[in-house]
Amino acid sequence: MNKPGGNSAPGGILSTGLFSEAFLADPFPLFAQLRSKGAVVALPVPSGSGTSSFWMVTQLEEAIQVLKNQLFTVDPSTIPLDDNQPSSPRGLGGLGGILGQSMIAVDEPDHRRLRSLVSKAFTPKYIQSLRPGIQKIADDLLDRVQEQGHMDLVNEYAFPLPINVISNMLGVPSEGQALIREWSELFSSGGAARQDPSRLMITQTFAEYLLKIIAEKRAHPQDDLISQLVQIEEAGDRLDEGELLSMIALLIFAGHETTSNLIGNGMLMLFDYPAQMQRLRADPSLVPAAVEEFLRYNGPVLAPAPRYATADVTLGGQQIRKGDTILTMLGSANRDEAQFTQPEELDIARSLNRHVAFGQGIHVCLGAPLARLEGDIAFTTLLRRLPALRLAVARDAITWRGGFVLRGISSLPVAF
């Protein structure tokens, strides 16, 4: 389809903007600028032929097309390249590392095999059965701080809540949480991809820690997801040991980093929009709709794993060549003016909210029902138990961490 300005490359704004502190603090002005250039924008990365092999998808319809179309793969190693192809199409490479054999990094049929091994633990019905346990975790966290009248909402609530939930599901002891946090902070800032020895060491320590847990579950299976996966691995040819390690690392990482940021970012949005906060306090039945709006407006995942074209294809009026890299900017698609009324406004009661914060297609978030339930409990409990909740620092003291893939606030001092 034709969209205005679809063929012009935005040049410098991307190369300077995408990795800047200003982008991390507020990526949305750049996204708006990019959407006005087109649905699919060339990234100005130098290549031998002078034509870009990197593309950014900025609008909702095209984002869904990329994520749903299996012409676009997550695993660039599967694309046979022609001898005469001049560019360097595997620039970002696959996910690699410890997640490299997980479902998020592979295509069908391996993806379906891996996802089906754990999908029963994430059905909406099963997830609802976790409600009392998650409610207890939320209440215990607030019991610890209620008397003192202040807390860091990120470090004392938004972070520990989801990590405790996923650790309980998997059977990971609570002592491991500090290491998990160190590793996932490194990973979400893109550090794990860099060949820095101290960073590689943290990943190595994390992998060794997981192998130790696997060995313990092998010797003494319990009623948890890792024990079930170990038994599947031992039973035959459905899961090998590398895939087992990758699967556990993915569930730990995806299961807490994103949801922590949903809770932290969402609370900050409510401080930014006091009328919406008041509305939510007056009618807590709006919490599930508010969670959807936090996901749309300031979701934790700005972009999913890069996709790679397996054939020449036209997308948003652009000629994409086999091997080209595509970054699907969910954070931009979720503010697409053609799809949402007043997209730059937070409206917790938005009725039509077809956002893509959980992705789309075969890799659509497996943990979405869990993230929604955790969000529901986290916000409902906070608002009910801390009626005088307020920001305890100046708004401009809030800093962000992550990058153009995952993004969340570092700390959120509050008083109540």
Rule CB under 6 A: which residues touch ligand HEM? 67, 103-104, 115, 166, 250-251, 254-255, 258-259, 262, 299-301, 304-305, 357-359, 363, 365-367, 370-371
Q: How far apart are CA 346 and CA 291, in angstroms?
A: 11
Least spacing, CB of residue 83 vs ligand HEM, in Å: 30
Tell me, what DSSP letter sits at residue 121? Answer: G
- Please name which of 257, 111, 260, 118 lies closest in space to residue 192, comparing C-alpha atoms: 257
Residue 2 exposed, middle or buried by CB count within 10 Å (0-12, 13-18, 19+): exposed
C-beta of 42 vs 170, nearer to ligand HEM: 170
Least spacing, CB of residue 219 vs ligand HEM, in Å: 25
User: Residue 37: what residue type?
Assistant: K
C-beta of 267 vs 416, nearer to ligand HEM: 267
Non-local (6+) Cβ contacts of 53 within 8 A are 45, 47, 87, 88, 89, 91, 321, 323, 324, 325
Residue nearest to ligand HEM (CB): 367
C-beta of 305 vs 320, nearer to ligand HEM: 305
The half-sphere exposure of 208 on its side-chain side, counting CA atoms within 13 A, is 7
C-beta of 41 vs 254, nearer to ligand HEM: 254
Tokens of 340: 């949402």
Phi first, then psi, for residue 365 (nearest 5°) are -50, 120
Least spacing, CB of residue 119 vs ligand HEM, in Å: 9
Least spacing, CB of residue 306 vs ligand HEM, in Å: 8
Q: How far apart are CA 306 and CA 95, in angstroms?
A: 9
Residue 279 exposed, middle or buried by CB count within 10 Å (0-12, 13-18, 19+): middle
Q: How far apart are CA 381 and CA 371, in angstroms?
A: 15
Give the count of beta carbons closer than 10 Å to the beta carbon of residue 325.
Answer: 24
Q: Give the 3-state secondary structure of residue 314.
A: strand
Tokens of 276: 């919406």
Question: How many angstroms separate the first and last alpha carbons of the chain?
Answer: 51
C-beta of 3 vs 309, nearer to ligand HEM: 309
C-beta of 7 vs 353, nearer to ligand HEM: 353
Least spacing, CB of residue 239 vs ligand HEM, in Å: 14
Least spacing, CB of residue 70 vs ligand HEM, in Å: 12
Helix and strand totals (H; E) in the chain:
17, 12
C-beta of 10 vs 94, nearer to ligand HEM: 94
Least spacing, CB of residue 2 vs ligand HEM, in Å: 27
C-beta of 200 vs 362, nearer to ligand HEM: 362
Least spacing, CB of residue 370 vs ligand HEM, in Å: 4
Least spacing, CB of residue 256 vs ligand HEM, in Å: 7
- Please name which of 304, 305, 322 lies closest in space to residue 313, comparing C-alpha atoms: 322
C-beta of 50 vs 109, nearer to ligand HEM: 109
